Amino acid sequence: MKSIVIAAPHSGSGKTTITVGIMECFRRRGLTVAPFKVGPDFIDPGYHRLVTGLPSANLDGWICPPEFVRASFAHHALNADMAIIEGVMGLFDGFGGTADEGSTAQVARLTGAPVVLVVDARGLARSAAAILKGFAEFDPSVRVVGVIFNNVAGDSHERILREAMAQALPELKVFGCIPRDDGLHIPARHLGLFTAEEHPLSDEFLDHLVEVIRDRVDLGLLWGAANPLDAPVPRAEPIPCRTPAGPVRLAVARDEAFCFVYEDNLCLLRRAGAEIVTFSPLRDERLPDDVAGVYLPGGYPEVFADALAANAGMKESLARAVNGGMPVYAECGGFIYLTRGVVDGAGTPESLHEFVGIFPVTTRMLPRRKALGYREVELAADTIIGPAGTLARGHEFHYSEMEEMPADVERAYRVRRGPVDLGMEGYRYRNCLASYLHLHFGSNPELAASFVARCRSYATRSSA
C-alpha cells in the first residue's frame, strides 16, 4: 500500500481541489483509494467519499492520542492501493506555536507518508524555491518529496518555477504546474464549501478537473514518490473489539442537514456494540423502529430550516423519545435542532422556524463566525457518554448564537481551550445531552462504550 500527504504552506492554496482531482484520477484508473483528512473538518471528507466511494477518516494528533491516529490510519487504509491524506492549513500549523500537535506534519510523521506541497504560485517566481527550501528543511523528520504549483500564469511562468527548483532544490520533484482556471473553484458558504450531500461536484466539473490533472500533473511520478517510509505502520484496530450480547440499534441522523460526523465515531460505536441505523430528519416522518438511542450530528439545520420545521412527525417522534428517557446525543447542528428553533435575520417571533423544542432557547445566525477552535471537556456529572471526571477532546465551529440557556437546565461539561477555562456547557435534559462541541470519540474510546451501554440499558428496560 502506498501513501502520500497533500499539504500546503497555507490555507487557500488549492489543496482540496487538487486532492480531489488526484483521488478521482487514480480511481478512474481502477485503483482503490483510501481517503483521509488532517484535522477536525467535515466538509472535505465528504468530497473524498464522493469521489473514492469510501469513507474519509479524520486524523488529528491533538484531539486523539498518537496511537489512535496510527491505528485509525492502518484500519481505514487496509486493502487500499493508495492512501491519500489531505492536510490542513499550512504543513506545520497546529494547536500552538512551539509544537506540531494537530498539524499535518505530525500526521505525516505518525503515518510515515511523504509530503507533496501544493504551492499557490500567483505572484511568485524564483521566490517559490526559497519557500519550498524552508519547508523541506524545517523538520528533518517530515519528508517533503516535491511540489505541485497552482495558479500558474503560463508557459513562461512555469519555466521560471521549474528552473528555480532545479537549481535550488534538485532533490525535490515538480510533479506538475496547474494553470489559473476559474472552472476549478468549488462553491462555498458560511461554514466553508457546500457539503457532498448537496452534490456540488457535477460530472462536468469532475471531468474537467480530471482532464486538467492528467494534462498538468505527472501521476506516474507521483505514484512512484508515494512510497512509505521504512518504518511500518501497525495494522491495528482502533479499539479492542467488544462482544456484548447482541447489537443495540442506534439511530444516526444522516442527510443534507445533518452530515458532520467523524467516521471513527461511527466505527467506535459499532465496535462497542451498536447497530447504526441512519434516518433523515428532513424526509422521514418518525424515528426508525426498535432503536434504543439517537445520535444527532452537526450540519446545516439553518439552511434547511423550512423543511425541518414542516416535518411535524419527526419532531414529535424525537420529543417522545427524549421525554421517554431514550439516550440522545446531539452536537452543534443537532443541538440547534433540539431547541425551540431558528429565527431569521431580524430575530422577530414571526420569523421563528420551530424545531423540536427540548431546550427552551432559540438560535440566530450571525454574519461573522461565533466560535472556532479545539476544545477539551471534563464531564462535571455522570452522563450518557461517561461518568463525572471523564475527559474528551473535540472542536467547535459555528456562525450561530443561542439565547442564554435558563439556569435550571443542567450544565454537564467543563470546557477548556488549552489553559483557558471557557466555563460550563453541555446541556442535559433527562437522558439527552446536547452541546455546540463536536467530540471525537477517538480522544477517549470509553465515550462510545458508555453511550452504547446506556442505550442497551434503555432497550432492556423498555422490553421488560
* Cβ 160 vs Cβ 9: under 8 Å: no
332 annotated active-site: yes
**pLDDT over 60 (residue 229):** no
pTM to 2 decimal places = 0.93
User: Average pLDDT for residues 456-462, to the nearest whole number?
Assistant: 93
Helices (H), 217-311: 219-225, 263-271, 305-310
The pLDDT assigned to 195 comes to 61
| Average pLDDT of the chain to the nearest whole number | 92
Give the pairing of strands 432-435 and 328-331: parallel
The pLDDT assigned to 231 comes to 45
Q: What is the largest CA-CA distance in the chain?
A: 77
Percent of the chain with pLDDT over 70: 91
Active-site pick, 25, 259, 332, 455: 332
Per-residue model confidence as pLDDT tens digits over 120-146: 999 999 999 999 999 999 999 999 999
* Least confidently predicted of 53-62, 166-175, 237-246, 326-335: 237-246
Q: Is 389 exposed, middle or buried (0-12, 13-18, 19+ CB in 10 A)?
A: exposed
The pLDDT assigned to 185 comes to 82
